[in-house]
């Protein structure tokens, strides 16, 4: 009976031990992914910023500039691309909407970001664009991969339409979460004028005809929770200039925008709470269950070996009886 039990326990131990790496290295890369229907909204602010008044073409100090960023998943488009790509794909339609202190639109830039739902690597397909201009992304944008590593990554910059390294600068504590801090600096680069501008009748094409060009530089900073790969905070020290041409009335350059852009506090709190919950789900697949199953398998294996050892012990002999000859009873 003990030997039968030990064999059953041995089979269970082998199953649990085999299941542990399968969860981590087979199930996790296939089951944990970004849902195609995800919707996100983020509000960022730049207080005491410099903003160009397009009516007078003069820069002025303003109390606040607000940037509303939205990312909306297009399920129908992702399913269509999946059929040809042969993998799980997410399609995000993004919009960066900038408004001044009076609530009026300063600029509005749409983009479509297509990426692998599991790895966050870009997937190149029809419709990938920034402000209507077709692009071919390299590297990540908006989100780091699950289980982010302590290394530099390639990050796509939507203004320049190019990719460049974003550098890992160390591990930090951010509101109770251990995060990885990344920085990227884009030097002064000529970039395209937004197609939607605040002045009626003024377009990127009409500005280009004046010979005036738009230039941009930024220092980009992200605090990334490494298990989920989600940024819990983001900032930019951002500057834009208009240079040359007849639009500036003989001036060499004019500041179009300058400010330190930060996530609004309530959105930081919401993001930290959301990521803390998602982190536990990822850890369940990558750490808690695999290590728990491995430990349980080792325990069951130990119990099986103990029972097997006991089943092999020789049983003690029965106590000797009295072997002396008995006297025969003789009747009368």
Query: Does 188 or 285 have the greater pLDDT score?
Result: 188
Q: Could you report the per-residue pLDDT of 76-95, keeping only the tens digit for each? A: 999 999 998 889 999 999 99
Confidence of residue 332 (pLDDT cuts 50, 70, 90): very low
Q: What is the mean pLDDT of the chain?
A: 87
- Ramachandran sector of residue 78 (left: φ over 0; alpha: ψ -120 to 50; beta: rest): alpha
Q: pLDDT grade, residue 21 (50/70/90)?
A: confident
The share of the chain scoring above pLDDT 70, in percent, equals: 84
32-41, 46-55, 225-234, 314-323: least confidently modelled range: 314-323
Distance CA 116, CA 33 (A): 9
* R_g (Cα) of the chain, nearest Å: 33
Around Cβ 57, how many Cβ atoms within 10 Å?
A: 15
Say what the pLDDT of residue 292 is. Answer: 72
DSSP label at 246? G
| Contact of 285 with 19, CB cutoff 8 Å | no
Q: Within a 10 A sphere around the Cβ of 306, how many other Cβ atoms?
A: 13
The whole-number pLDDT of residue 26 equals 72
Give the pLDDT confidence score for residue 329 in this predicted structure. Answer: 41
Q: What's 62-99 look like in SS3?
A: EEEEEEEEEEEECHHHHHHHHHHHCCCEEEEEEEEEEE
The pLDDT of 34-63, averaged and rounded, is: 92
23 secondary structure, DSSP code: I
- Count the Cβ atoms, other than its own, within 10 Å of residue 161: 18
Among residues 246, 98, 105, 103, which one has the least CA distance to residue 159?
A: 98
- pLDDT of 290 over the 80 cut: no
Give the residue, 176 or 17, on which the prediction is more confident: 176
Domain regions of the chain by residue span: 1-31+280-313, 32-263
Outline where DSSP puts E strands in the chain.
39-53, 58-73, 89-99, 105-116, 129-130, 133-134, 153-157, 162-174, 177-191, 213-225, 230-243, 253-263
What is the largest distance, in Å, between two alpha-carbon atoms of the chain? 153
């Amino acid at each position: 009976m003990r030997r039968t039990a030990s064999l059953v326990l041995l089979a269970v131990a082998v199953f649990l031990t085999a299941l542990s790496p399968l969860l981590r290295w087979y199930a996790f890369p296939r089951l944990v992914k970004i849902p195609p229907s995800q919707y996100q909204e983020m509000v960022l602010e730049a207080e005491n910023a410099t903003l160009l008044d397009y009516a007078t073409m003069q820069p002025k100090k303003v109390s606040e500039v607000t940037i509303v960023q939205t990312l909306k998943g297009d399920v129908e488009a992702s399913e269509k691309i999946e059929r040809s790509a042969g993998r799980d794909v997410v399609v995000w339609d993004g919009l960066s909407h900038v408004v001044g202190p009076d609530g009026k639109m300063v600029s509005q830039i749409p983009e479509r970001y297509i990426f692998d739902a599991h790895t966050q690597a870009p997937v190149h397909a029809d419709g990938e664009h920034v402000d209507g201009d077709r692009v071919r992304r390299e590297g990540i944008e908006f989100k780091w991969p699950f289980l982010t590593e302590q290394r530099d990554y390639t990050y796509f910059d939507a203004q320049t339409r190019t990719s460049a390294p974003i550098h890992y600068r160390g591990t930090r504590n951010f509101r109770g979460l251990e995060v990885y801090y990344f920085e990227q600096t884009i030097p002064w680069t000529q970039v395209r004028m937004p197609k939607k501008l605040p002045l009626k009748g003024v377009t990127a094409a009409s500005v280009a005809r004046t010979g005036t060009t738009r230039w941009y530089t930024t220092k980009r900073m992200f605090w990334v929770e490494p298990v989920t790969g989600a940024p819990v905070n983001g900032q930019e020290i951002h500057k834009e200039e208009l240079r040359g041409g007849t639009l500036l009335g003989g001036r060499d350059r004019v500041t179009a925008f300058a400010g330190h852009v930060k996530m609004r506090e309530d959105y930081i709190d919401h993001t930290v709470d959301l990521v803390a919950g998602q982190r536990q789900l990822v850890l369940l697949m990558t750490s808690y269950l695999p290590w728990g199953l491995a430990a349980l398998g080792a325990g069951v294996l130990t119990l099986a070996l103990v029972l097997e050892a006991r089943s092999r012990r020789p049983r003690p002999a029965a106590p000797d009886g009295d072997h002396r000859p008995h006297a025969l009873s003789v009747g009368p």
